[in-house]
Structure 1
Amino acid sequence: MRMNSTRVSFAMAMFVAAALAGCRREQPAQPSAPAPASSTAPAPATQAATAATPLQDVTEHTADYVIGISYPPIANEYPALAAELRAYADNARRELLEAAKGREKGEGSAPYELVLPFTELHVSPTLVAVGVDGSSYTGGAHGAPLIARWVWLPKQNRLLRASDLVADAKGWAAISALVREQLHTALSQRIDADALPAAERVEVLKSASRMIEDGTEPDPEHFSQFEPIVGGDGRIRALRFVFAPYQVGPYSDGTQTVEVPSALLLPYIAPAYRSLFEGG
């Protein structure tokens, strides 16, 4: 269920490691809360943004912060998609710079850090999927995860959003139930593997189960990050819903994913998009 990290850009990771070598010391543990879901949510593309210059990778390194942003070449083939990615990255960069400006002199030794490796997940004439599994570090024990997905419809020249894909409450209730079942099963397996004492096991199970229920309420907003899993015929055979740390579990559980086969999704998919799915 946990997201494989092989999509993260190795070049970006090497850059950040080199930039921070010898300058980051262990930070005192601090409570870290998730960034609001809307803080770096993709903004609608405007005509001005669409007409902007092509995306270019960003590398910045000062005594106060390090920024590394890399874009997939495919994005520049679709200017409106490029505008969505640029808006997300610009917002994350702006938040980091504001945090760096407000940093007190002598506050820690490690520079703040933004790493955004956008990656190409799928490309075809009917679907383009781009993801980012990044983070923003502004002090504390660890960075805040920045996890997002974009599914682009080239023929319509627009994003495919969860609220478009499944338009009614009945559909989201069914999808929520399917996702919750898989997440609860994975949670039980992790707790069993940890061999916790009985009393601690009950508390961990109770707390994590509550996070699953809250983070998968039957609302498209809770399922807004998804990516298509495409079969050999070019149609979607499943959707992989992506949940950033804190949404359905503690930070230590990392990014979690749940795959729902198209056969289970089709009854709830809006008619306009059924042809994208196997069996549709």
Structure 2
Amino acid sequence: MRLAALLLFIVLLPVPALGDRLCSPAVLSGVHIEEETAGFVINLDYPVLCRADVTRTLRDHVCDALAAFKLEFPEHDLSEFRHKYEMFVRFKTWTAAGGRLASVKLHTMVYTGGAHPNNWPETWVFDMTTGQRLGLGDVFSDPAGALAEIAPRVRAELRRTLGRMALDDMLDPGTTPVPDNYADFILADEGITFFFAPYQVAPYAAGEQAVTLPYKGLASLLSPALSEILP
């Protein structure tokens, strides 16, 4: 009788779904892809995270970008432009909420002639218990309202850090409170950081820009789900 009761108790215990289990550490290693041909130099890195589905998302993105780069100039061989075309990708990672959230930033540099390479950031924020990629709609209860409050803070900080390189005709449109301007962000323990590519908010010479806003000043804007797990 006791054995039957014990077995019944075990059967009735809630069993967490595999997708709800938190793997650790969030970031395991990195993958390096290097190739040099008569016309190209390829040097790419992307991270390996502890969820295979998350790693596949990043791997597929990098490989798709590489394929598109090669297909755009398949016959480049220095005969018309005596410099190899180049593609470089580097990554940086952050975790927050005790590893529940993992953020990845890829920085891509492509050179296909001209005065200088093109550079841009791309970011992902993953819930490591589910593999879900989080967007602005997951971070803020009211994304449109949140961006309306955030934009002036970001603009003011960029104007301060850029100094004489701050140009209103670039800074103002590049920080207008629309989702595309704030699509590249990460979540770390210290706050949310927004990244801006060269030319988005400042001249190329100013480089990539980043603004971090502490969660303390965003408490009323965050979604309930994130408010529960962020510091």
- Is the aligned partner of 1:250 residue 2:224? no
Q: CA deviation at 1:173?
A: 0.0
Instruction: Name which of 149, 164, 184 aligns with 1:225.
Output: 184
Contact 2:31 2:47 in 1 (8 A): no
SS in 1 for 2:160: helix
Mark the runs of 5 or more structure 1 residues left unpaired by the alignment: 1-54, 192-203, 231-236
Q: CA deviation at 1:167?
A: 4.2
- Is the aligned partner of 1:154 residue 2:128? yes
Cα distance in 1 between the residues matched to 2:201 and 2:60: 26
AA aligned to 1:69 is L
* Segments of 4+ moved more than 6 angstroms: none
AA aligned to 1:96 is F
Q: CA deviation at 1:88?
A: 2.2
Q: Give the match for residue 277 of structure 1.
A: 230
- Is the aligned partner of 1:106 residue 2:65? no
Cα distance in 1 between the residues matched to 2:67 and 2:133: 24
Q: CA deviation at 1:104?
A: 7.7
- Cα distance 1:104–1:114, how it changes in 2: closer, same or farther (>3 A)? closer
Contact 1:136 1:146 in 2 (8 A): no
Across the aligned residues of Structure 1 and Structure 2, the Cα RMSD in angstroms comes to 2.2
Structure with more of its chain in strand, by fraction: 2
SS in 2 for 1:249: coil
Instruction: Name which of 68, 83, 86 aligns with 2:43.
Output: 68
SS in 2 for 1:85: helix
Q: Give the match for residue 15 of structure 2.
A: none
Q: CA deviation at 1:245?
A: 0.7
Contact 1:212 1:249 in 2 (8 A): yes
- Is the aligned partner of 1:183 residue 2:181? no
SS in 1 for 2:129: coil
Q: TM-score, normalised by structure 2?
A: 0.79
Instruction: Name which of 110, 115, 136 aligns with 1:136.
Output: 110
Contact 1:242 1:256 in 2 (8 A): yes
Cα distance in 2 between the residues matched to 1:252 and 1:163: 33
Cα distance in 1 between the residues matched to 2:71 and 2:120: 17
Contact 2:103 2:124 in 1 (8 A): yes
Contact 1:165 1:269 in 2 (8 A): yes
Q: Give the match for residue 53 of structure 2.
A: 80
AA aligned to 2:67 is R
Residue by residue over 1:36-87, the C-alpha shift from the partner in whole angstroms, topping out at 9 and shown as x without a partner, is xxxxxxxxxxxxxxxxxxx8421111011011112223x2x21221122123
Residue by residue over 1:86-144, the C-alpha shift from the partner in whole angstroms, topping out at 9 and shown as x without a partner, is 23212321232123225486222111111112233337431112222220111111111
Contact 2:35 2:41 in 1 (8 A): yes
Contact 1:166 1:172 in 2 (8 A): no
- Is the aligned partner of 1:116 residue 2:67? no
Residue by residue over 1:222-265, the C-alpha shift from the partner in whole angstroms, topping out at 9 and shown as x without a partner, is 111112231xxxxxx31111111111111111011111111111
Cα distance in 1 between the residues matched to 2:57 and 2:120: 15
Mark the runs of 5 or more structure 2 residues left unpaired by the alignment: 1-29
The structure having more radius of gyration, on CA atoms, is: 2
SS in 2 for 1:116: strand
Contact 2:78 2:84 in 1 (8 A): no
Contact 1:225 1:242 in 2 (8 A): yes
Contact 1:238 1:262 in 2 (8 A): yes
